[in-house]
Structures are given as C-alpha cells and as structure tokens.
Amino acid sequence: MAKRNEKGSLFLVAALAAVIFVLAAQATPAVAVGYTDGDKVQKVVYEEVMNVKEKAAGFIRLAFHDCFVRGCDASVLLLETPTNPAGQTEKDSGFNGGLRGMEVIDIIRNRLLANGTKISCADAVVFAAREAANILSNGNIKYPVDGPGRKDGVVSSVDDPPKFLPTPSFTFKQLADSFGVFKFSVTDLVALSTAHGIGVFHQTPIMSSNVSKTASTYALAVAEEASTSTNGAGVKINVRDMGEKARNISRYRPDGVNMTAVGVLDNSYCNANLQNMVPFDSDFELTKNGTALKLLNDYKMDAKLWKTDFEAAMTKLSNTLKAVGPLFEEGYRVKCNATNYDSYPRPK
C-alpha cells in the first residue's frame, strides 16, 4: 500500500486556486440537471454499480479524488503515455493508493454507448458516485447532479494530488483551508467526511501515529480486524461494521446507532468520531473546531439533517470546476484510461 506524501504543499494551493477559479468561471453549463428515477442513463449506472456493490464505496472516494484535482475531469483515471511516463501520473500518487472501481467506469460508458448515449468519463465518475451513495444508503441518499456534459481532461500529473487533496495528518485548519480552496464550507467538510462511515482503509491506522488522539481500545480493534483481513481487503473504516470480536475489543458505544445496518451509508460516522474511533487524525480533528463539533453532534442526533447536508455537499462536489479549455478533449475520451492523443495541446 502506497504511503501518502505527508508534505502537502498548502502554499501551492493558494497560487493554483487563482488559476482554477478562472477556469471555473468559464465553465460551460451542463446540459441537464438531476436524473430522475427511470432515466435511462441513471438506470444503467445504477445497475453497473449494483453489480460491484462490494466495492461501491470506492466510487465515492474516486469522485472526491477526481473532482478536487483539476475539477471533475476523470484525470485520475489516466495511465502513463509516451510523454507522461510511469510514476508521473496523477493515479501514481500515493494519495490515490487504494482507489478502486476505476475499471467499471469504462463498462458504464461502453454500455451506454452501445445504446446510443454518449457521456464523458468525467460524467461517469460522478454518476457512479451518485448511484453508489444511493445503493449504500439503501435508497436514502438521493441528490441531483449536473450533466452529462463534463469534459474529459488531458492532463495527469503526480504532482497534482498533494496540492489539493488533504492528508490524514492535516489539522482542522489545514482541512478547512484545503476545502476552502473549492469554496467548501465547514459544513461541507464535516458532511463529506461522514463518507468515512463506509468502505475500507489499508494504511496503518492513525497515520500521523499520534495514538493518544485515538481511543486505545479502537486501535486494538483495528489490529484484530487487520489480523483477519485477507488479500489486502483492508479494515472497515466504520467501527460499527467490524466483526463482533473487534467491536467488543473497541468498547464502542452504539448510542442510538442502528447496529444491524452493517455496511450502510448513514450518520453512524459521527457517533464513532465522537468516541475517537476513527482511523485518521483528519477525522478526529473535526472535533477540535466548535462549529464542526456541533455539526457532528447534530448529525448524530438528526439523521434527516445529516441526509440534507450530505446530499447538498455531494451535489456540490459533483459539480466542482467543470472542465473547459485547451486542457481538455474536444470530444470525449475514447478509453477512460488514455487521452485520445499522446501529446497535448493539440491543434483546434
């Protein structure tokens, strides 16, 4: 498992932010808003995500990692090219270690294409995350997203993720600042962080290794889960979802959480975080700011408020900085893991 680069260069973020906002301002409006149930595109995406339900959490993380780096442009999917060799792509960054579900993006697009509907790879990433959230929440989470109409990017650099993605060792201020670059509020930050109520992680827990910040019983529970994890399956992020033995070891207090909703995307992350039972310092840091702490408590008590804010933040994430200009394909990428030409910029 790749280690994340801890040297997140926040000052570069400020410089690049200016450039990005210029691009964002020029973004072409999307053609359609809000797929409704029964929509053909939505149906196909739903079915394909459902086919790989066991890794559906991966699509939500994939959208975050794509949309925070050069906007939602599927840049995270690109493999090396003759002009952008191995080790130099966005995907190669340690920040993107553990990303899964990428191969399904082409499957979704090809199935739609066979039926006469073209969407970009960037659209497919965002739509897959949307259906994943719906499926993993047992139909509870539903949010509109723009599109289709996102452009596919042609730039992929290993240097990009550290400029924009947060690391597990970020302080609250660093988290708020990095989300602020994209005009995401503290509410958006907390709401989006509740996505750590699903899925798995592979790193040694508590990456900045300040174990004193985390419940010691939780660290033991993670060790128990890790000892039974096979083939790099990882450890469940949500302590509620761990095996009974590990949960017993953790001394987790259910505190109103639906304990039978194992693997379900709900507000249970808040209860875990308020007990210091989260794998990353960046999660626990949310308890350090008054506004964020209040939100964690509010979401824990009020599942409807959590749903509303989570949906709004996911819509916002899905519409981040729609791609424009010479840094993008004129049409859509033919294959989602490769640009249509080897070198860019290309003539108009």
> C-beta of 3: minimal distance to ligand HEM in Å?
10
**Which residue, among 206, 201, 125, has the nearest Cα to 168 in the 3D structure?**
206
> Within its chain, how far is the Cα of 327 from the centroid?
23
**Which 8-state DSSP code applies to residue 81?**
B
Exactly one of 69, 200, 206, 336 binds ligand HEM (CB under 6 A); which one?
Answer: 200
* 294 beta partners: none
- Among the residue ranges 27-35, 270-278, 283-291, 321-329, the one whose residues contact ligand NAG (CB under 6 A): 283-291
The one of ligand HEM, ligand NAG, none whose footprint includes residue 166, by CB under 5 to 8 A per kind, is ligand HEM
- Residues in region 118-147 near ligand HEM by CB under 6 A: none
Q: Is 65 a catalytic site residue?
A: yes
Exactly one of 13, 45, 61, 128 binds ligand HEM (CB under 6 A); which one?
Answer: 61
Exactly one of 86, 230, 260, 347 binds ligand NAG (CB under 6 A); which one?
Answer: 260
Q: Give per-residue burial for 115-145: e unless 16+ CB within 10 Å, then b.
A: eeeebbbbbbbbbbbbbbbbbbbeebbbbbb
Catalytic pick from 61, 65, 236, 307? 65
> C-beta of 296: minimal distance to ligand NAG in Å?
13
**Distance in angstroms (rounded) separating the CA atoms of residues 146 and 70:** 17
The identity of residue 189, as a single letter, is L
- Residues in region 92-111 near ligand HEM by CB under 6 A: 98, 100
Please state, in angstroms and as integers, the Cα–Cα distance from residue 168 to each residue in 90, 201, 279, following that order. Answer: 18, 12, 9
* 200 beta partners: 236
Exactly one of 112, 192, 242, 292 binds ligand HEM (CB under 6 A); which one?
Answer: 192
Helix (H, G, I), strand (E, B) or coil at 181: coil
Active site residues: 65
Provide the binding-site residues for ligand HEM, judged by CB under 6 A. 57-58, 60-61, 64, 98, 100, 166-168, 175, 192-193, 195-196, 198-203, 234, 280, 282
